[in-house]
Amino acid sequence: MPKTSSDKPQRKAVALVSGGLDSMLAVRVLQEQGVHVEGINFFTGFCVEGHTHAIRKKDRDKPKRNNALWCAEQLGIKLHIIDVSEDYKGVVLNPKHGYGANLNPCLDCKGFMVHEALEWMKKHDFDFLITGEVIGQRPMSQRKDTMPVISKESGAGDLLLRPLCAKLLPETKPEREGWVDREQLLDFSGRNRKPQMALAEKFGFKEYAQPAGGCCFLTDANYSSKLADLWKARGEKTYEIDDIVMLKVGRHLRPRPHFKLIIAREEGETNFLRGYRRNYLSLNTISHSGPISLIDGEADEDDLELAARLVARFSSGRTSELVTVEVRQKNGESKNIEVKPLTAEDIPQEWYV
Amino acid sequence: MSETTLDARNLLCPLPVIRTQDRVEKVEPGECLLIQCTDHGVINDIPAWCRINGHEVLSIDEQDYEIVIKIRVGKTR
């Protein structure tokens, strides 16, 4: 084990790095004490980072970055990004502690991530875990009464250190063993961000992300509503990665309980949805320019005509008498049908998911 | 010098980075890896990942909707 200048063995901590300011500060607090820190970031499928920004053409010119990678670079630490999307389904579909305001299973999620980080820590011979959690900052997972639940249910126990609020919590093993100095840890609590901002200034962090809970689509009401609609239509709580990616793309309309349309809103989404034509039945206006649309579910001939009229409504032929729509099967076979576009009044608001 | 190709097309960030990370584990230091992508987020993310993990980006070629990034795997992994 490497030695520090004081000849004590250098301890190694793995940090859950979300890309926000709190995890960035937590890492730096430990680095100041000579601890070797590496970051871990989990891909659940619901991460806000990247997805829609990457798809929509209008956003293409905006600078894009993965905040977790950016933070790691600022901190000079390695970052390990782990795909946990398959195992994460159990958290989303059946959260032991229930959901928050939307379909966000925050308490189960944090317990799951700490557990996964613990397994990684053991495998890579690290000594303890840290998070940027602050008491009272989140209504579900960051409360004084739920933090011990996370420590216990994750299996991490007293190997889990929260540097930003450690002084308000029972002593952990890294503190007890002298791996870190408790006196140099912090006592942040509540939703007030001023202490974090002051510490950021002290550390010279000029720029940092302000996610404030916005890093997960499950905290978003519109997204949660689309996911609930998907489960209701299928008659069971289940999903595949493609399903949850699709919920972030396009305009979703459900004209009948057994199928919905995913209609591209612009060129970037059209290009993205085109890549899924082998997985979904698709519709495309031929006589007029218009967006590509996918059908999720089963549609008979009447349904297809209705879907085509709906798609025609979103094409440049919306005021035309007839619009030709190509209906393409997953195997590439296609046929053209001519339909009269629906009017705006023909489309009930309830169809919009 | 051997060179392998990773197809990360139609994957959205951070999946191309994760696939790169997993593939690099199986590649010898000094070898090159060509990563084919369609998500423009990789133009920032893969170089950032390479910088913090000690790999070298040799080129980034962008054509229409496809991006090909060539990296040389570093010694520390």
**In a domain? residue A1:** no
Looking at residue A97, its pLDDT comes to 93
Q: Using an 8 Å Cβ cutoff, are B24 and B1 in contact? A: no
The answer to whether A81 contacts B10, with C-beta atoms less than 8 Å apart, is no
Tell whether A193 and A256 lie within a shared domain: no
Q: Which pTM does this prediction carry?
A: 0.86
Q: Which of B39, B41, B52 is nearest residue A79 as measured by Cβ atoms?
A: B52
Nearest residue, CB atoms, B39 vs list A54, A70, A76: A54
Cβ contacts of B43 on chain A, cutoff 8 Å: 64
Report if residue A195 sits inside a domain: yes
Report which of A109, A105, A116 is spatially closest to residue A81, judged by C-alpha positions. Answer: A116
Domain boundary among A217, A236, A263: A217
CB contact under 8 A, A66 and B14: yes
Q: Would residue A4 count as lying in a domain?
A: no
Q: Which residue of A has its CA nearest to B18?
A: A81
Does the CB of B44 have a partner CB in chain A at under 8 Å?
Answer: yes
Amino acid at A180: V
Q: Is residue A3 part of a domain?
A: no
Q: Which residues of A304-318 are buried (b: 16+ CB within 10 A; e: fewer)?
A: bbbbbbbbbbbbebb
Q: Which residues of B belong to the active site? A: 13
Residue of B60, B40, B12 whose CA lies nearest to A62: B40
C-alpha A211, offset from chain centre:
11
Cβ-defined contact of A82 to B14 (cutoff 8 Å):
no
Q: Enumerate residue ranges in chain A where pLDDT < 50.
A: 51-52, 212-213
pLDDT of residue B41: 85
B12 to chain A: closest CA residue:
A51
User: Nearest CB to B52: which of A54, A73, A275?
Assistant: A73
Tokens of A246: 């699709």
Q: Is the CB of residue B65 less than 8 Å away from at least one CB of chain A?
A: yes
B10 in contact with A, Cβ within 8 Å? yes
Q: Which residues, other chains included, contact A292 with Cβ-Cβ below 8 Å and sequence gap of 6+?
A: A264, A270, A273, A274, A277, A282, A283, A284
B37, burial (CB in 10 Å: exposed 0-12, middle 13-18, buried 19+): buried
Q: Closest chain A residue to B40 measured between Cα atoms?
A: A54
Domain range for A157? 12-217
B18 touches chain A (CB under 8 A): yes
Q: Is residue A210 part of a domain?
A: yes
**What pLDDT does residue A214 have?**
61
A17 touches chain B (CB under 8 A): no
- What is the reported pLDDT for B62? 92
Given CB atoms, is B20 within the 8 Å cutoff of chain A? Answer: no
- To the nearest whole Å, the CA of A50 is away from the closest chain B CA by 5
CA distances from A302 to A1, A11, A285, A286 (A): 70, 67, 18, 20
The class level of CATH for B3-72 reads: alpha beta
User: What is the pLDDT at residue A210?
Assistant: 65
Question: Which residues does chain A have within 8 Å of residue B10's beta carbon, measured at their own beta carbons?
Answer: 275
Handedness of CA A124, A126, A129, A130 (dihedral sign): negative
Residue A212's pLDDT is what?
47
CATH at A148: 3.40.50.620
What is the mean pLDDT of the segment spanning B22-28?
Answer: 93
Do residues A192 and A256 both lie within one domain?
no
ipTM of the complex: 0.90
CA distance A203 to A179: 22
Measured between beta carbons, the chain A residues lying within 8 angstroms of B38 are 275
Same domain for A80 and A163, yes or no, is: yes
What's the token pair of residue A326?
């190509």
- A98 and A160 in a single domain? The answer is yes
Within 8 A of A78 by CB-CB distance, chain B residues are 52-53
- Beta strands B66-72 and B32-37 are antiparallel
Domains of chain B, by residue range, sit at: 3-72
Number of domains in chain A: 2
List, for residues A160-218, the tens digit of each pLDDT value.
999 999 999 999 999 999 999 999 999 999 888 899 999 999 999 988 776 544 678 89
Say if A72 is an interface residue toward chain B (CB within 8 Å). Answer: yes
Contact B41/A66 with Cβ under 8 angstroms?
A: yes
Question: Are A319 and A278 contained in the same domain?
Answer: yes
Other residues' Cβ atoms within 10 Å of the Cβ of residue A335: 10
Position A87 scores a pLDDT of 96
Instruction: Write the burial class of residue A121 (CB in 10 Å: 0-12 exposed, 13-18 middle, 19+ buried).
Output: buried
- Alpha carbon distance B40, B70 (integer Å): 15
Which of A61, A81, A215, A249 should one mutate to test binding to chain B, selecting the residue with the greatest count of B CBs within 10 A? A81
Give tens-digit pLDDT for A251-273: 999 999 999 999 999 887 888 88
Answer positive or negative: Cα dihedral of A187, A193, A198, A201: positive
Backbone angles phi, psi at A213, to 5 degrees: 90, -5
A333 lies in some domain: yes
The answer to whether the CB of B21 falls within 8 A of the CB of B54 is no
Instruction: Tell me the β-bridge partners of A308.
Output: none
Q: Does A55 touch chain B (CB under 8 A)?
A: yes
A285 and A168 within one domain: no
Inter-chain Cβ pairs, chain A and chain B, closer than 8 A: 71
Gap between the Cα atoms of A277 and A289, Å rounded:
18
| Cα–Cα nearest to B40, from A292, A291, A266, A56 | A56
Regarding whether A283 and A193 lie in a shared domain, the answer is no
**Does B19 score more than 50 pLDDT?**
yes
Does residue A105 form part of some domain?
Answer: yes
